[in-house]
Amino acid sequence: MARPTTKEQLLQYSEENFHTLFALIGSMTAEQQETPFGFEDRDKNVRDVLIHLYEWHRLLLQWIRSNQAGRKMNFLPEPYNWKTYPQMNVEFWKKHQQTSLAEAVKLLRQSHAESMELIGSFSNEQLFTNNYFSWTGSTSLGSYCVSSTSSHYDWAIKKIKKHKKSLPA
């Protein structure tokens, strides 16, 4: 799927990929959903992938809401930056080792709905004009939204498909 360049595409691709992700998970047995991945060093199962998506939704939501309220905030929390964010992802993983798959599903469904609602509140121009908001730096708000939704869902789908293919028939 191409990278969205309009609000309509962003919402459509995000919803399509989100539903594809859950259809894929739903095509697996409960045991397969809980089976550890045989190929990962960070995300070790379906729950970990879903929690990763949830935490990135939280980053997006907090960043937008804070900046809209006039409280300047970077997208990545201190002490992380775009060179060190893989360490942040590991911290997300550690934080949720006691979270159940059912809870991860619930959290992700809720954060997806919140993300879609918030994205929907912006105009196409607000989302896809570089420098429209001072707090997005030299890029657009939509670019952050794409990375936290439709593109991230695509990543998750690929990872879970790889897991499903590795399972015994």
**pLDDT, tens only, 6-21:** 999 999 999 999 999 9
Domains of the chain: 41-166 (1.20.120.450)
Average pLDDT score over the chain: 96
Q: CA 10, CA 76: separation in Å to the nearest integer?
A: 22
Q: CA 31, CA 157: separation in Å to the nearest integer?
A: 18
Amino acid at 147: S
**pLDDT, tens only, 113-140:** 999 999 999 999 999 999 999 999 999 9
- DSSP percent split of the chain into helix, strand, coil, nearest 5: 65, 0, 35
